[in-house]
């Protein structure tokens, strides 16, 4: 399982680096951001809902972090 | 190709060019009340208020206040038995009983938490933003203090954004009745319990880097990596393990759990956001791995169904799976050597969890929004391990946990 995890993390890193390398052919002009400006196109359109959900998952599961960050904050028994 | 909305395009272009528009100075207040209930277990009521104010010069301040109250019963870690079981409450001054074949639940779980955080963000030039924040929370047996900062820079006409961040938390644990000695045996109520002296302390350092990329007019991708280092007291002082007979499986004693005092976590996260003509799709994947040998995979999907005039429905699904921590033991066996660390906390076991939910949002007037959502969450694990001993073969050693969540939110823009 650990080998799989290392492979998975490496694959994500490779995708990220690939994305950076390919940025030259990506993107839009400033006047093409009409759809991107819509609320539903935000990476996290509702941070408060995300924070509440992450707090629930943090208290019920062994893994946490990601979009809302890791960190401490409660005993959550 | 759909026609470009000229007004939105102008707003977006002004933002990119650093030209202040009419919405540059704004205050937003968002509040939500959430109810959470696990039938016959924990119930919680949580209220959150966010306040954000953006100044005309691009600076921003934000505050968040969280109040939550929890009550009910939580699995103690002990196994079911063919006999009535008597457990001493964490205070050491009382006891509670669990009927034969029932999963032992500690019904003394009751807490109120207050958390306050604040942040300040400011532009450093045209394409760089720096922010810093403070965090503090307190409950009757736990205090957490934290600081965080991040630096973000845009590239390529703001199609690419890279951010680095750091956070540090210093937590103090002062459990009811004191911290149990690792693997100390629970004593009858009224007798001296095996306790450590002093409070527990835990420090957490998070370091992260993220990349947000506009792929095309309808697609945004986020990739994020976090390294988290946790040092200090990570044992749950309210959890214990049954020390069972190697033949019958019935418990003789209950030993308080003992977890390692160091944990290093790696978290890789990706999110894909796509415009589908009228609706929007957000698809996320998270991989975590740590040196407790917990590996998890999470897949999450949000579909925003835009109904028109600002109304929308957002179905939500989530699948989560984790491997057990290498020191997870459902029970310990009399006569066998004690491991270096052990915990029967089901949250450290092999587990799958599922979430299904629906959010409805609608505008109120020109600038405000009301949201309502319902979620159902359930967890399953290894109910009947193949190597269970004696009577334990007859019992559900990982009962399904169900939770229902209801939330009402309102956001106000001034």
Q: What is the pLDDT of residue B4?
A: 40
Give the percent of chain B with pLDDT over 90: 90
**Contact status of B199 with chain A (Cβ, < 8 Å):** no
ipTM for this prediction: 0.91
Q: What is the pLDDT of residue B24?
A: 60
Cα separation, B270 vs B285, in Å, equals 5
Query: Residue B200 in contact with residue B172, Cβ under 8 Å?
Result: yes
Q: What is the pLDDT of residue B271?
A: 97
Contacts of A48 in chain B (CB under 8 A): 30, 32, 48, 50, 409
Please list the rounded mean pLDDT of every run of 10 residues in chain A (77 residues).
58 61 76 95 94 93 76 53
Residue window 82-141, chain B: list those with CB within 8 Å of chain A.
109, 111, 113, 115, 135, 137, 139, 141
Model pLDDT for residues B259-292, shown as the tens digit of each residue:
999 999 999 999 999 999 999 999 999 999 999 9
Which of B7, B146, B156, B216 would best serve as a mutation to test chain A binding (most A beta carbons within 10 A)?
Answer: B216
Model pLDDT for residues A24-39, shown as the tens digit of each residue:
678 999 999 999 999 9
Q: Which token pair is B29?
A: 């207040």
The answer to whether the CB atoms of A73 and B169 lie below 8 A apart is: yes
Query: Residue B77 in contact with residue B343, Cβ under 8 Å?
Result: yes
Which of B264, B279, B287 would best serve as a mutation to test chain A binding (most A beta carbons within 10 A)?
Answer: B287
Contacts of A6 in chain B (CB under 8 A): 289
Out of A1, A15, A65, closest to residue B267 by CB: A65
Q: Partners of B116 in the beta sheet? A: B65, B136
Mean of pLDDT over chain B: 92
Q: Each residue of B188-204: b (16+ CB within 10 Å) or e?
A: ebeeebbbeeebbebeb
The answer to whether the CB atoms of A27 and B156 lie below 8 A apart is: yes
Domains delineated in chain B: 6-413 (2.40.160.40)
Q: Classify residue B217 by its DSSP letter.
A: T
Out of B144, B304, B323, closest to residue A1 by CB: B323
Q: Which token pair is B192?
A: 């001296």
Range B48-60 average pLDDT: 95
Cα separation, B256 vs B84, in Å, equals 20
How distant, in Å, are the alpha carbons of A61, B96, B186, B224 from that of B240?
18, 15, 9, 36
Model pLDDT for residues B90-122, shown as the tens digit of each residue:
999 899 999 999 999 988 778 899 999 999 999
Cα separation, B235 vs B184, in Å, equals 13
Sorting pLDDT into bands at 50, 70 and 90, what band is B414?
A: confident
The answer to whether the CB atoms of B296 and A63 lie below 8 A apart is: yes
3-state secondary structure B250-279: CEEEEEECECCCEEEEEEEEEEEEEEECCE
How distant, in Å, are the alpha carbons of A59, A65, B36, B375 from that of A56?
5, 12, 9, 12
Cα separation, B180 vs A21, in Å, equals 53
Quick one: closest CA in B to A67, which residue? B269
Contacts of B401 in chain A (CB under 8 A): 60
Residue B86: CB atoms within 10 A of its CB come to 13
Query: Residue B102 in contact with residue B87, Cβ under 8 Å?
Result: no
Distance from CA of A48 to the nearest CA of B (A): 8
Sorting pLDDT into bands at 50, 70 and 90, what band is B250?
A: very high
Query: Residue B230 in contact with residue B311, Cβ under 8 Å?
Result: no
- The string of DSSP codes covering B287-311 is EEEETT--EEEEEEEEEEEEEETTE
Nearest to B287 by CA among B278, B279, B297: B297
């Amino acid at each position: 399982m650990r080998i799989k995890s290392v492979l998975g993390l490496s694959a994500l890193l490779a995708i990220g680096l690939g994305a950076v390398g390919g940025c030259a052919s990506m993107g839009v002009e400033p006047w093409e951001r009409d759809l991107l400006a819509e609320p539903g196109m935000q990476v996290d359109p509702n941070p408060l809902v995300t924070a509440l959900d992450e707090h629930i998952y943090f208290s019920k599961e062994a893994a946490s972090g990601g979009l809302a960050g890791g960190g401490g904050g409660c005993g959550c028994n | 190709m759909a026609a470009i909305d000229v007004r939105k395009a102008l707003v977006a272009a002004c933002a990119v060019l650093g030209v202040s528009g009419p919405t540059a100075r704004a205050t937003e207040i968002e509040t939500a009340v959430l109810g959470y209930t696990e039938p016959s277990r924990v119930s919680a009521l949580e209220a959150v208020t966010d306040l954000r104010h953006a100044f005309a010069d691009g600076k921003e301040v934000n505050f968040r206040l969280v109040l939550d109250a929890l009550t009910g019963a939580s699995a103690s870690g002990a196994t079911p038995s063919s006999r009535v079981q008597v457990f001493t409450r964490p205070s050491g001054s009382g006891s509670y009983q669990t009927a034969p074949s029932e999963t032992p639940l500690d019904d003394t779980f009751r807490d109120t938490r207050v958390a306050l955080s604040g942040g300040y963000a400011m532009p450093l030039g045209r394409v760089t933003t720096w922010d810093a924040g403070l965090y503090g929370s307190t409950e009757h047996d736990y205090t957490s203090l934290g600081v965080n900062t991040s630096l973000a820079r845009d590239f390529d006409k703001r199609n690419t954004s890279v951010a680095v961040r750091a956070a540090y938390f210093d937590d103090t644990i002062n459990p009811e009745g004191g911290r149990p000695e690792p693997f100390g045996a629970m004593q009858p109520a009224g007798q001296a319990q095996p306790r450590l002296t002093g409070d527990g302390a835990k420090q957490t350092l998070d370091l992260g880097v993220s990349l947000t990329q506009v792929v095309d007019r309808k697609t945004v991708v986020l990739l994020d990596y976090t390294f988290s280092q946790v040092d200090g007291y990570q044992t749950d002082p309210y959890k214990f393990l049954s020390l069972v007979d190697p033949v019958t499986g019935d418990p003789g004693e209950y030993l308080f759990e003992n977890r390692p005092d160091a944990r290093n976590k790696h978290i890789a996260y990706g999110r894909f956001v796509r415009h589908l003509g009228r609706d929007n799709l957000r698809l996320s994947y998270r991989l975590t791995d740590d040196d407790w040998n917990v590996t998890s995979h999470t897949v999450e999907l949000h579909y925003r169904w835009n109904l028109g005039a600002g109304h929308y429905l957002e179905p939500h699904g989530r699948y989560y799976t984790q491997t057990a921590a290498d020191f997870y033991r459902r029970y310990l066996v009399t006569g066998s050597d004690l491991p270096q660390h052990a915990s029967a906390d089901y949250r450290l076991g092999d587990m799958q969890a599922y979430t299904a939910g629906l959010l409805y949002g609608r505008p109120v007037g020109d600038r405000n929004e009301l949201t309502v959502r319902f979620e159902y969450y359930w967890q399953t694990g290894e109910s009947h391990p193949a190597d269970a001993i004696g009577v334990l073969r007859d019992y559900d050693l990982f009962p399904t946990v169900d939770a229902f969540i209801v939330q009402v939110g309102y956001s106000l823009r001034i």
